[in-house]
């Protein structure tokens, strides 16, 4: 391997799925084009990015050190990372921050090696010993060039790429999956740890969605309109149109949906003339507003007292084609629609972070399409269909096109 | 690459079957007379009724056949032949038809055996034209308990909506599919 000083790092994406590949291409093009040159399936590159969970050329590994080459493995949390010399690991969902960090490490290694070679007048005979580093390790020193400054790294935080590099595929074309925004950032909790347990509960009464739910229930039961009085102004449930009327602009509404400011809310039966209703400037479908508000309030949490171990009863499918949805929503709902499973069990059987499951449950509970009222408790184990790999290809296909 | 994977689209005339297949097909939708697949050849011998045919073509060239059944109920003898070996059923119901609820009942019971063996996703179309019923009205027709049949309001002209139905169909068959 001949690396010229100051030349671009050659990075190859080896046998990644199309979406990850395209996303990384975009990432390199927009962020690293001056530092790195990108190749596809080139075993001779300086750095190979390989999906550990997919088929790859295992013969490369023993020769890495000899060739002064490096591998970054993208791997599933469940999969044990490879700890060979010159290998690095990044867990999926891939966070760009970490990927960048690993590339920085490597370029520094390569740079150091070159300097050593130049000093000692050798040609690539010396390689440095590196032990596999896991993504959560901190860089020991600021590596050259790649991370220009702190804010550059931070810019990635809310970037769609953070999201787009999920698990192995995430399509930016499948715009309805704007998951990162919707499920918060809670890590999976250990239910036996009371401190951790606290983090996944919220008090619905503090949030707007709870009062909207109550208003709609009262309105439907009595076939009347309902006035919803909050400290910040009124909202109105119009029974006939099944719409919520209000005059909050978008930014305010976004803030209200997710803020615990509504404990002082009152709901009362009401009937305004059509003319007075017009004074409200905005009218939104009640169900979709409740749905979205319940997601925004949840951020990976469920109502206080929700059992994590009793089975969920799903009573109907939400109208997902017309509601805000995020990653894994269909998969989780499909599991609940065919099997009795608890919240924790869903997360572990599907290998999906708990916050996705909790957020979806909170929203489905709010629109009354799921609950944990009846103790069924005969949890069923999910089996795999023998056509799983074809199904997986069909899904990739429809997300890609 | 040859494959026998197929997804069946059914529902009454005008519900949007041909349109839905066209929305997600990678080839122009054709009538069976032009379709080059074994089982449709057999069908041609037994009937002159045209089926809609489209296909999803995967990266490795595997074809997922998309078949639209003839909508007229008098052709329901064909449904059994057609569904044999299919992945599952996407059932489209024209929501602007005042008979929509009965149509849903009729098609669910006609395909009962196939649905029990596989899975079904219902799409209520033309809700933008004239919404005769709410989703709850359709949901009431369904059996209580598991499996809960997915029913979505969709527009057959929308690739996103039809793709959602396919995605849902596959995940109900195997919630553990990873991509
Ligand atoms: N406005 C509207 N038109 C639709 C919708 N779904 C289908 N159509 C239209 O309905 C007509 C009949 O659809 P078609 O696919 O021929 O129905 P088929 O008889 O089931 O094959 C076509 O003109 C479609 O464009 C929908 O959701 N909204
Ligand atoms: Mg047709």
Q: Give the residue, by CA position, lying nearest to ligand 1 atom 26.
A: B126
Tens digits of residue pLDDT in A350-377: 999 999 999 999 999 999 999 997 666 6
CB atoms A394 and B146 under 8 Å: no
Q: What residues does ligand 1 touch, defined as CB less than 6 Å away? A: B 11, 13-19, 71, 125-126, 128-129, 155-157
Contact B56, A398 (CB under 8 A): yes
| CA B157 from centre of chain | 14
Model pLDDT, residue A21: 81
Mean pLDDT value across residues A127-147: 31
Mean pLDDT value across residues B5-21: 95
> Domain coordinates of chain A in residue numbers?
9-160, 176-192+300-400, 204-295
Model pLDDT, residue A110: 78
Contact A262, A208 (CB under 8 A): yes
Model pLDDT, residue A3: 41
Q: Does position B72 have pLDDT exceeding 70, yes or no?
A: no
d(CA B92, CA B156): 8
Model pLDDT, residue A148: 30
pLDDT above 70 covers a percentage of chain A that reads: 77
Nearest to A321 among B153, B176, B179 (CB): B153
Q: A4-13, A148-157, A347-356: which range is least confident on average?
A: A148-157
Length of chain A: 401
Q: Does position A152 have pLDDT exceeding 50, yes or no?
A: no
Pocket test for ligand 1, best of B14, B25, B129, B152 (most atoms within 8 A of CB): B14
User: Which residues, in sequence order, are CB contacts of A17 under 8 Å at separation 6+?
Assistant: A51, A54, A168, A169, A396, B179
Q: A95-109, A172-186, A313-327: which range is least confident on average?
A: A172-186
Q: Does position A150 have pLDDT exceeding 70, yes or no?
A: no
CATH number at B5-173: 3.40.50.300
pLDDT above 90 covers a percentage of chain A that reads: 52
Model pLDDT, residue A377: 62
Model pLDDT, residue B170: 98
Q: Which residues of A touch B (CB under 8 A)?
A: 17-18, 167-169, 176, 314-317, 319-322, 330-340, 349-351, 382-385, 387-388, 390-399, 401
Strand partners of residue B158: none
Tens digits of residue pLDDT in A69-83: 899 988 876 677 777
Tens digits of residue pLDDT in A267-321: 999 999 999 999 999 999 999 999 999 999 999 999 999 999 999 999 999 999 9
Q: Does position A206 have pLDDT exceeding 90, yes or no?
A: yes
Model pLDDT, residue A96: 73
Mean pLDDT value across residues B147-176: 97
Nearest to A394 among B64, B146, B154 (CB): B64
Q: A255-264, A280-289, B31-40: which range is least confident on average?
A: B31-40
- Confidence category of residue B71, pLDDT binned at 50, 70, 90: low
Pocket test for ligand 1, best of B90, B94, B127, B156 (most atoms within 8 A of CB): B156
pTM of the model: 0.70
d(CA A207, CA A201): 13
Model pLDDT, residue A15: 86
Q: Does position B38 have pLDDT exceeding 90, yes or no?
A: no
Model pLDDT, residue A114: 57
Mean pLDDT value across residues A56-85: 81
Q: Among all chains, which residue has been given the structure tokens 């509960």?
A: A201
Tens digits of residue pLDDT in A220-237: 999 999 999 999 999 999
Q: Distance from A155 to chain B by nearest Cα, in Å?
A: 27
Model pLDDT, residue A24: 80
> Domain coordinates of chain B in residue numbers?
5-173
| CA A270 from centre of chain | 41
Strand partners of residue A74: A51, A90
Q: Does position A349 have pLDDT exceeding 90, yes or no?
A: yes
Model pLDDT, residue B32: 62
Q: What is the ipTM of this complex?
A: 0.91
Model pLDDT, residue B128: 95
Mean pLDDT value across residues B113-134: 97
Nearest to B146 among A338, A382, A399 (CB): A338
The SS3 of residue A314 is strand
Residue contacts between A and B (CB atoms, under 8 Å): 129
Q: A139-153, A195-209, A297-311: which range is least confident on average?
A: A139-153
CB atoms B178 and A168 under 8 Å: yes
Model pLDDT, residue A20: 78
Tell which wins on pLDDT, A182 or B90.
B90
Q: Is the dihedral of CA A343, A346, A348, A353 positive or negative?
A: negative
Give me chain B's average pLDDT, please. Answer: 88
- In the DSSP assignment, the letter for residue B90 is E
Q: Does position B85 have pLDDT exceeding 60, yes or no?
A: yes
Give the number of the atom of ligand 1 that is nearest the alpha carbon of residue B19. 15
Between positions 32 and 91 of B, the ones with CB within 8 A of A are 56, 58-60, 62, 64, 87
- Confidence category of residue B43, pLDDT binned at 50, 70, 90: very low
Tens digits of residue pLDDT in B58-70: 999 999 999 998 7
Q: Does position A380 have pLDDT exceeding 70, yes or no?
A: yes
CB atoms B59 and A335 under 8 Å: no
Give me chain A's average pLDDT, please. Answer: 80
| Ligand 1 centre distance from Cα of residue A325 (Å) | 25
CB atoms B147 and A338 under 8 Å: yes
Assigned superfamily of A9-160 = Ntrc-like two-domain protein. (3.40.50.10850)
Mean pLDDT value across residues A134-139: 32
CB atoms A394 and B170 under 8 Å: yes
Tens digits of residue pLDDT in A35-50: 788 888 888 899 999 9
Q: How far is CA A213 from CA A217, A220, A263, A271, B60, in A?
A: 6, 11, 14, 18, 48
Q: Does position B153 have pLDDT exceeding 70, yes or no?
A: yes
Buried b (16+ CB within 10 A) or exposed e, A90-123: bbbbbbbbbbbbbbbbbbbbbbebbeebeeeeee
- Confidence category of residue A130, pLDDT binned at 50, 70, 90: very low
Model pLDDT, residue A174: 39
With beta carbons under 8 A apart, name residues in chain B contacting A333: 150, 168, 171
Q: Mind giving me the DSSP string for A208-262?
A: HHHHHHHHHHHHHHHT-EEEEEETTEEEEEETTTTEEEE---HHHHHHHHH-S--
Mean pLDDT value across residues A98-112: 78
């Amino acid at each position: 391997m001949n690396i010229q000083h100051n030349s671009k790092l050659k990075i190859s994406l080896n046998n990644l799925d199309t979406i990850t590949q395209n996303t990384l291409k975009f990432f390199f093009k927009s962020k690293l084009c001056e530092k790195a040159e990108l190749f596809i399936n080139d075993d001779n590159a300086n750095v190979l990015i390989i999906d550990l969970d997919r088929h790859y050329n295992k013969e490369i590994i023993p020769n890495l050190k000899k060739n002064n080459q490096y591998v970054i493995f993208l791997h599933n949390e469940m999969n044990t990372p490879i700890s060979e010399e010159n290998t690095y690991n990044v867990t999926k969902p891939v966070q760009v921050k970490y990927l960048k960090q690993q590339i920085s490490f490597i370029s520094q290694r390569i740079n150091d090696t070159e300097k050593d070679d130049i000093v000692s007048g050798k040609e690539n005979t010396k390689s440095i010993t590196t032990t596999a580093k896991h993504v959560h390790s901190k860089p020991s020193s600021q590596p050259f060039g790649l991370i220009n400054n702190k804010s550059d790294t931070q810019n990635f935080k809310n970037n769609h790429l953070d999201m787009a590099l999920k698990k192995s595929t995430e399509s930016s074309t499948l715009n309805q999956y704007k998951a990162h925004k919707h499920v918060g950032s809670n890590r999976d909790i250990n239910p036996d740890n009371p401190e951790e347990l606290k983090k996944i509960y919220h008090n619905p009464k503090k949030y707007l969605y709870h009062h909207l739910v109550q208003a709609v229930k009262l309105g439907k039961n009595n076939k009347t309109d309902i006035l919803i009085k909050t400290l910040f102004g009124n909202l109105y449930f119009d029974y006939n149109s099944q719409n919520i009327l209000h005059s909050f602009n978008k930014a305010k509404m976004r803030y209200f949906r997710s803020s615990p400011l509504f404990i002082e809310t009152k709901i009362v039966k009401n009937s305004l003339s059509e003319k007075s209703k017009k004074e409200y400037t905005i009218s939104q479908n009640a169900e979709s507003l409740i749905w979205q508000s319940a997601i925004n309030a949840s951020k990976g949490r469920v109502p206080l007292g929700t059992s994590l171990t009793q089975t969920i009863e799903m009573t109907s499918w939400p109208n997902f084609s017309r509601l805000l949805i995020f990653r894994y929503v269909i998969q989780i709902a499909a599991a609940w629609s065919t099997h009795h499973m608890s919240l924790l069990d869903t997360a572990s059987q599907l290998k999906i972070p708990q916050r996705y499951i909790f957020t979806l449950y909170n929203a489905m509970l709010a629109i009354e399409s799921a609950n944990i009222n009846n103790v069924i408790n005969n949890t069923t184990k999910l089996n795999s269909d023998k056509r799983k790999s074809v199904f997986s290809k069909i899904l990739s296909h429809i997300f890609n096109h | 690459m040859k494959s026998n994977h197929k997804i069946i689209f059914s529902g009454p005339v005008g519900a949007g079957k041909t349109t839905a297949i066209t929305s997600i097909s990678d080839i122009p939708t054709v009538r069976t007379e032009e379709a080059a697949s074994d089982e449709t050849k057999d069908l041609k011998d037994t009937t002159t009724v045209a089926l809609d045919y489209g296909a999803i073509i995967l990266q490795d060239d595997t074809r997922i056949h998309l078949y639209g059944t003839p909508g007229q109920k008098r052709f329901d003898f064909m449904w059994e032949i057609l569904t044999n070996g299919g992945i599952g059923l996407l059932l489209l119901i024209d929501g602007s038809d005042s008979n929509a609820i009965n149509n849903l009942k009729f098609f669910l019971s006609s395909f009962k055996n196939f649905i029990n063996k596989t899975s079904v996703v219902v799409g209520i179309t033309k809700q933008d034209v004239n919404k005769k019923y709410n989703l709850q009205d359709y949901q009431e027709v369904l059996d209580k308990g598991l499996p809960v049949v997915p029913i979505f309001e969709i527009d057959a002209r929308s690739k996103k909506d039809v793709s959602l139905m396919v995605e849902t169909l596959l995940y109900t068959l195997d919630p553990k599919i990873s991509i």
